[in-house]
Amino acid sequence: MQLTQFTDFSLRVLIYLVRLPEPGMATIPEIAEYYRISRNHLVKVVNTLANAGLLVTMRGKGGGLRLARPADTITIAEVVRLTEPNMNLVECFDPKASHCRIDRGCFLKAILYEARKDFLAALERHTLADAARMGSGSEGESPAPRGARM
Protein backbone atom coordinates (compact mmCIF):
# COMPACT_ATOMS: atom_id res chain seq x y z
CA MET A 1 0.00 0.00 0.00
CA GLN A 2 1.62 3.18 -1.20
CA LEU A 3 0.70 6.68 -2.17
CA THR A 4 1.90 7.77 -5.60
CA GLN A 5 5.12 9.67 -6.12
CA PHE A 6 2.93 12.46 -7.47
CA THR A 7 1.25 12.78 -4.08
CA ASP A 8 4.60 12.61 -2.29
CA PHE A 9 6.02 15.41 -4.46
CA SER A 10 2.85 17.48 -4.13
CA LEU A 11 3.08 17.36 -0.36
CA ARG A 12 6.78 18.27 -0.48
CA VAL A 13 6.10 21.30 -2.69
CA LEU A 14 3.36 22.49 -0.38
CA ILE A 15 5.48 21.99 2.75
CA TYR A 16 8.29 23.94 1.09
CA LEU A 17 5.93 26.83 0.46
CA VAL A 18 4.56 26.78 4.00
CA ARG A 19 8.08 27.06 5.34
CA LEU A 20 9.03 30.06 3.23
CA PRO A 21 9.45 33.24 5.22
CA GLU A 22 6.59 35.68 4.68
CA PRO A 23 6.02 37.24 2.22
CA GLY A 24 7.54 34.42 0.26
CA MET A 25 7.46 33.18 -3.29
CA ALA A 26 9.36 30.19 -4.64
CA THR A 27 10.20 28.96 -8.10
CA ILE A 28 10.04 25.48 -9.58
CA PRO A 29 13.81 25.34 -10.26
CA GLU A 30 14.48 26.33 -6.67
CA ILE A 31 12.19 23.62 -5.26
CA ALA A 32 13.54 21.04 -7.70
CA GLU A 33 17.06 21.81 -6.61
CA TYR A 34 16.16 21.77 -2.93
CA TYR A 35 14.63 18.28 -3.08
CA ARG A 36 16.84 17.09 -5.95
CA ILE A 37 13.89 16.00 -8.04
CA SER A 38 13.15 16.64 -11.70
CA ARG A 39 11.69 19.96 -12.79
CA ASN A 40 9.41 18.18 -15.22
CA HIS A 41 7.78 16.28 -12.40
CA LEU A 42 7.32 19.48 -10.47
CA VAL A 43 5.74 21.34 -13.38
CA LYS A 44 2.94 18.77 -13.45
CA VAL A 45 2.59 18.88 -9.70
CA VAL A 46 2.42 22.68 -9.64
CA ASN A 47 -0.12 22.79 -12.45
CA THR A 48 -2.36 20.35 -10.62
CA LEU A 49 -2.11 22.22 -7.34
CA ALA A 50 -2.67 25.58 -9.05
CA ASN A 51 -5.68 24.33 -11.01
CA ALA A 52 -7.19 23.10 -7.78
CA GLY A 53 -6.77 26.48 -6.16
CA LEU A 54 -4.12 25.47 -3.65
CA LEU A 55 -1.35 27.51 -5.25
CA VAL A 56 -1.10 30.92 -6.84
CA THR A 57 1.44 31.30 -9.61
CA MET A 58 2.74 34.64 -10.81
CA ARG A 59 4.72 35.03 -14.00
CA GLY A 60 7.53 37.42 -14.71
CA LYS A 61 10.35 38.95 -12.71
CA GLY A 62 9.76 38.48 -9.02
CA GLY A 63 7.10 35.92 -9.83
CA GLY A 64 6.82 32.39 -8.59
CA LEU A 65 4.55 30.27 -6.44
CA ARG A 66 2.88 30.68 -3.13
CA LEU A 67 0.05 29.04 -1.24
CA ALA A 68 -3.35 30.36 -2.20
CA ARG A 69 -4.79 29.81 1.28
CA PRO A 70 -3.44 29.77 4.83
CA ALA A 71 -1.60 26.52 5.58
CA ASP A 72 -3.83 25.73 8.54
CA THR A 73 -6.90 25.61 6.28
CA ILE A 74 -5.54 22.96 3.90
CA THR A 75 -5.82 19.44 5.27
CA ILE A 76 -3.53 16.61 4.19
CA ALA A 77 -6.67 14.74 3.17
CA GLU A 78 -7.59 17.53 0.73
CA VAL A 79 -4.22 17.18 -0.97
CA VAL A 80 -4.27 13.36 -1.05
CA ARG A 81 -7.79 13.25 -2.47
CA LEU A 82 -6.68 15.67 -5.18
CA THR A 83 -3.42 14.02 -6.15
CA GLU A 84 -4.13 10.30 -5.88
CA PRO A 85 -5.50 9.02 -9.18
CA ASN A 86 -7.95 6.93 -7.24
CA MET A 87 -8.49 5.47 -3.81
CA ASN A 88 -9.74 2.12 -5.07
CA LEU A 89 -8.06 -0.24 -2.64
CA VAL A 90 -9.12 -3.30 -4.63
CA GLU A 91 -10.66 -3.95 -8.04
CA CYS A 92 -14.24 -4.12 -6.79
CA PHE A 93 -14.17 -0.49 -5.53
CA ASP A 94 -14.61 0.51 -9.17
CA PRO A 95 -17.88 -0.94 -10.47
CA LYS A 96 -16.67 -0.57 -14.06
CA ALA A 97 -13.48 -2.54 -13.42
CA SER A 98 -14.84 -5.16 -11.09
CA HIS A 99 -15.02 -8.69 -12.38
CA CYS A 100 -15.10 -10.38 -9.02
CA ARG A 101 -17.82 -13.00 -8.88
CA ILE A 102 -18.61 -12.45 -5.22
CA ASP A 103 -18.68 -8.66 -5.57
CA ARG A 104 -22.27 -8.03 -4.58
CA GLY A 105 -22.39 -10.53 -1.76
CA CYS A 106 -19.08 -9.79 -0.12
CA PHE A 107 -18.53 -7.90 3.10
CA LEU A 108 -14.81 -7.46 2.49
CA LYS A 109 -15.56 -4.33 0.51
CA ALA A 110 -17.43 -2.81 3.45
CA ILE A 111 -14.51 -3.61 5.74
CA LEU A 112 -12.02 -2.00 3.36
CA TYR A 113 -14.28 1.04 2.95
CA GLU A 114 -14.23 1.45 6.72
CA ALA A 115 -10.43 1.24 6.78
CA ARG A 116 -10.14 3.81 4.00
CA LYS A 117 -12.54 6.09 5.84
CA ASP A 118 -10.42 5.88 8.99
CA PHE A 119 -7.27 6.51 6.96
CA LEU A 120 -8.71 9.67 5.43
CA ALA A 121 -10.19 10.80 8.73
CA ALA A 122 -6.68 10.83 10.21
CA LEU A 123 -5.52 12.99 7.32
CA GLU A 124 -8.50 15.31 7.81
CA ARG A 125 -7.31 16.01 11.36
CA HIS A 126 -4.02 17.50 10.16
CA THR A 127 -3.16 20.44 7.98
CA LEU A 128 -0.16 21.54 5.96
CA ALA A 129 0.72 23.79 8.89
CA ASP A 130 1.06 20.69 11.10
CA ALA A 131 3.10 18.82 8.50
CA ALA A 132 5.48 21.74 8.02
CA ARG A 133 6.22 22.24 11.71
CA MET A 134 9.92 22.10 12.39
CA GLY A 135 11.32 18.92 13.86
CA SER A 136 14.64 18.60 15.62
CA GLY A 137 16.46 16.94 12.73
CA SER A 138 19.36 18.88 11.30
CA GLU A 139 18.00 18.43 7.78
CA GLY A 140 14.65 19.83 8.70
CA GLU A 141 15.63 23.44 8.44
CA SER A 142 13.49 25.98 6.68
CA PRO A 143 14.47 26.82 3.15
CA ALA A 144 16.47 30.02 3.16
CA PRO A 145 14.74 33.19 2.03
CA ARG A 146 15.39 33.64 -1.66
CA GLY A 147 17.17 36.93 -1.18
CA ALA A 148 19.57 35.41 1.29
CA ARG A 149 20.83 32.94 -1.25
CA MET A 150 21.45 35.36 -4.07
Distance CA 4, CA 144 (A): 28
Residues 106-135 as x/- pattern, contact with a second copy by CB under 8 A: xxx--xx-xxxxxxxxxx--x---xxxxxx
- Report the nearest approach of a second copy to the CB of residue 6 (Å): 11
Site for a second copy, residues 11 to 70, rule: CB under 8 A:
11-12, 15, 34-36
- Is 72 a residue that touches a second copy (CB under 8 A)? no
Q: Rounded to the nearest 5 degrees, what angle is found at the Cα of 15, between the Cα atoms of 14 and 17?
A: 65
Sketch the per residue contact string, 87 through 106, with a second copy: x for CB under 8 A, - otherwise: xxxxx-------xxxxxxxx
**DSSP-assigned letters across all residues of 80-107:** HHHHSS---SSGGGSTTT---TTGGG-S
DSSP characters over 65-82: EEESS-GGGSBHHHHHHH
Among residues 135 and 147, whose Cβ is nearest to a second copy? Answer: 135
Nearer to a second copy, 105 or 147 (CB): 105
- Nearer to a second copy by C-beta: 61 or 104? 104
Q: Which is nearer to a second copy, 68 or 112 (CB)?
A: 112
Element (H, E) at 57: strand 55-58
Q: Is 29 exposed, middle or buried (0-12, 13-18, 19+ CB in 10 A)?
A: exposed
Please identify, using beta-carbon distances, which residue of 63 and 72 lies nearer to a second copy: 72
Q: Are 57 and 65 in contact (CB under 8 A)?
A: yes
* Contacts to a second copy by CB under 8 A: 1-3, 5, 7-8, 11-12, 15, 34-36, 76, 80, 84, 86-91, 99-108, 111-112, 114-123, 126, 130-141
